[in-house]
Amino acid sequence: MEYSRRRTDPPRPPLAPDPARRRLSARELEIALLVADGVKDAVIAKRLGLSKATVRTYARRLCLRLGLSDRAGIIAWVATRRPSAAVRDGLRRGGDE
């Protein structure tokens, strides 16, 4: 059953942007995405021209800013904000499965 709006219903507010994401710098977001992809610190450091210690510092800062306890939290945080692979693949394939 689909909910239909009535003319007397109050207007819906627009969806708010993710406030946590706004607190991250572009580099922090980049590191979060790489961590979520399972890339090791040494590889992230080499790819971005940073030291491993700097990558670990970024990961710790991400945890502090997002209120997470560890890298698994970063992975989960990114996973909840990315469109799922199944949805992307289903749209591309057109449901031929």
In a domain, 55, yes or no: yes
In a domain, 12, yes or no: no
Better-scored residue on pLDDT, 28 or 11 = 28
Q: Say if CB 12 and CB 49 are below 8 A apart.
A: no
CA distance 26 to 11: 34
Q: For the chain, what is the domain count?
A: 1
In a domain, 5, yes or no: no
CA distance 46 to 55: 10
In a domain, 18, yes or no: no
Does residue 2 surpass a pLDDT of 50?
A: no
pLDDT band at 15 (very low <50, low <70, confident <90, very high): very low
What pLDDT digit, counting tens, does each position of 28-77 carry?
989 998 999 999 999 999 999 999 999 999 999 999 998 999 999 999 98
- Domain CATH for 67: 1.10.10.10
In a domain, 28, yes or no: yes
**Mean pLDDT computed over 15-26:** 66
Residue range(s) defining the domain that contains residue 85: 23-93
In a domain, 9, yes or no: no
pLDDT of residue 83: 66
In a domain, 80, yes or no: yes
In a domain, 15, yes or no: no
CA distance 44 to 52: 8
